[in-house]
Chains A and B, each alone.
Chain A
Amino acid sequence: MLNPYFINIIILVGIYSILAVSLNLVLGFTGLINLGHVALFGVGAYTSALLTKAGAPFIVGFFSAGLTAALFGFIIIFATKKLKGDYFALASLGFAFVIGSLMLNLQWLTRGPLGIVGIERPNIFGFVLNTPVEYLIFVIIIASISIFAMRRVVNSPFGRLLHAVRNDEIGLRVLGKNTFLIKIKTMIVAGFFAGLAGSLFAHYIRFIEPSSFFLSEIIFVLSIVIIGGIASISGSVVATALLLFIPEILRFLPLQSNLLGAMRQIIYSILLLVILVFRPRGLLGRIDLE
């Protein structure tokens, strides 16, 4: 059970579940197809990596990652205030491209395509997480708290408003609710957790580069949420595990190692298309994606 290979995947499942659940909060509960979510994850990763590189303690980097990503989440939703449907999706994608090209071009800050290497291991009040098992425990704790917190949001009276925004925004406005404020709050919460996930990612892999947060990653996280089922938190967690474990089968096939990445992308995109066409509510969802 506890071989390093297995631990590695479980750690990634923990990190990506936080990211997927936070995207589901936006996509599943308010109906906003945010294609820029991976950019928030990237902003978190870079914030945490750069701050700790500059000498800040891990805890500061970790929470700053959440707060900075929350701020960017606010910027996306505020800037795209007037857009709906496709155009919101595209503007958020455009936002991800802008963030991506900033990561590539602000070389004095991000070292551009070279990425940031040698990101330190988390040091929590003097306790350094040196081994994968320690990191695993840390990720499980953070993921549990984050997902539990987002679950609380969804099951609260505010969560019911979120469902209503997705189902009938105009009806909700007739009732005198400020639906835009609801969307802003959701994006801030989702951005915060995406940023935390980014920080966990950066300090685990210990090397980040702009391409870690680009189009293929967008499809990966979107696949998780849609395959798991929109508005289903458990679905997102299960789908994260599935999508990270399924490609491991490829290791038993006689493939060139430089094609593994491409094969994974093929699997994800086929799964996503099959779910979209044949089972729009996903594996554990109760609502059809329309």
Chain B
Amino acid sequence: MPLLAQLTVNGIIAGSIYALVASGFALIYGTNKFMHFAHGASVTFAGYILFLLLERTIVPFYGAIIITIIFTSYFGLLLYRFVYLPLQNRKASTVILLVASIALLILFENTLQVAFGPEVKTIPYDFDNRTFTIFGGTITILQIFIFITALLIFLFLFAFMRYSNLGKAMRAVADNKELAAIWGIDSRKIADMSFLIGSFLAGVAGILIGLEQSLVPTMGTMLIIKGFTGAVIGGIAYVPASVIGSYVLGFAENYGVALLPSGYKDAIGFVILFLFLLLKPEGLFGVPKGVKSNA
């Protein structure tokens, strides 16, 4: 069944890309308990920084990657410090933070559009473009690389959240801020770290997605919707679950288009998102806490 194999391969690739976006988003949500939709802007930002460095400067490829990731990490941190933190300080609800994050996403998308133009940009770097065939499905080296990166991120975050001190502190702050403070955990610092690490992941995502697809200023919206959907399917507050949820979404979309016209690919994702929000908002692996009203 070459068709089934190709759909499976496509599902894995799509799932890996969504997982790259979802993991950082879920990490930030898990610690701070608000939806950082502008994470999509961080991903796009990374793609354009890499483009800028390779197109306009003589920085070598690997140097450009390091610079891009550092810039993107701090980009996320700045968003937190200048927008979300002031809002939190005046006791704004998480819904207001959500509205602010959508405003940030729209702001940066359009700023990129003004700065670089609305047309598609290709990052000037030729990745090894050999392809492999597995059971009749075709996959490129870059796509294999994306899959491996997503897998490594999954393992790393799983271990990080479970065993490292910082990961434990993040979970403690997420669970009970006051109690964590009593134990001497500085929740401000933990929030800073979550934005740094989450946006670091956005940097990795932006580079790989930028190389695999091409750059458009509006790509962040679609990516964050997918990443967010993946996170909701798995369980939005729990990072490893968001990665699994992203693969569920990737497979659902790609097997779905075997049955439906291909235009329905995004619609499948939206319907799954809507159904999960209504019926199982805590996700497949999450704990139903603070989701439903006490009605």
Hey, which bits of chain A sit against chain B, CB under 8 A?
33, 35, 79-87, 89-91, 94-95, 97-98, 100-102, 104-105, 107, 112, 170, 180, 215-216, 218-219, 222-223, 226, 258-259, 262-263, 265-266, 268-270, 272-273, 276-277, 280, 289-290
Contact = CB atoms under 8 A, between A and B. Distances in A.
Contacts of B86: 277
6 pairs of A and B residues whose beta carbons are closest in the complex: A101-B267, A269-B107, A84-B293, A94-B274, A262-B110, A97-B270
A105 B267 contact: yes
B103 A219 contact: yes
A269 B264 contact: no
Most chain A CB within 10 A, of B91, B113, B270, is at B270
A273 B114 contact: no
A227 B187 CA distance: 31
Contact of A85 (B93, B114, B261, B263): B93
Contacts of A263: 110, 114
Contacts of A276: 87, 92, 96, 99-100, 103
Contact of A86 (B34, B83, B217, B278): B34
B266 A266 contact: no
Interface string B220-232: 0100010000001
A290 B278 contact: no
Contacts of A89: 95, 98-99
Interface residues of B, number: 47
Contact of A83 (B94, B109, B267, B292): B292
Given A83-B292, A265-B110, A226 B99 contact: yes
B108 to A, nearest CB: 9
Contact of A289 (B92, B114, B294): B92
B44 to A, nearest CB: 14
Given A101-B267, A273-B83, 14 more contacts: A79-B278, A81-B295, A84-B293, A87-B291, A90-B98, A97-B270, A100-B270, A104-B267, A105-B261, A262-B113, A262-B114, A265-B106, A265-B109, A276-B92
Contact of B221 (A87, A215, A273): A215
- Do most interface residues of chain B lie in helix, strand or loop, or is the interface mixed? helix
B96 A104 contact: no
A129 B295 CA distance: 49
A94 B93 CA distance: 20
Contact of B118 (A91, A258, A277): A258
A74 B277 CA distance: 17
Most chain B CB within 10 A, of A35, A83, A91, A276, is at A276
A56 to B, nearest CB: 28
- Do most interface residues of chain A lie in helix, strand or loop, or is the interface mixed? helix
A91 B109 CA distance: 23
Contact of A95 (B95, B118, B274): B274
A216 B105 CA distance: 10
Most chain B CB within 10 A, of A80, A81, A97, A262, is at A262
B274 A259 contact: no
Interface string B257-295: 000010110110011011001100100000000011111
B87 A270 contact: no
A184 B147 CA distance: 46
Contacts of B217: 262
Given A98-B267, A258-B118, A270-B107, A280 B90 contact: yes
Contacts of B92: 276, 280, 289-290
Given A82-B295, A87-B281, A277 B83 contact: yes
A258 B113 CA distance: 10
A226 B99 CA distance: 10
Given A105-B261, A276-B99, A86 B91 contact: no
Most chain B CB within 10 A, of A80, A215, A289, is at A215
Most chain A CB within 10 A, of B91, B274, B281, is at B274
B35 interface: yes
B118 to A, nearest CB: 6
B111 interface: yes
Given A87-B281, A105-B264, A82 B94 contact: no
Nearest to A255: B114
Given A85-B94, A105-B261, A90 B266 contact: no
B103 A82 contact: no
B274 A98 contact: yes
Contacts of B267: 98, 101-102, 104-105
Contact of A219 (B34, B94, B106, B291): B106
Nearest to A84: B293
B273 A94 contact: yes
Most chain A CB within 10 A, of B99, B278, B295, is at B99
B277 A91 contact: yes
Given A273-B103, A273-B104, A91 B95 contact: no
Given A86-B35, A97-B225, A112-B263, A289 B96 contact: yes
B102 interface: yes
B273 A97 contact: yes
Contacts of B278: 79-80, 83, 91
A262 B107 CA distance: 9
Contacts of A101: 264, 266-267, 270
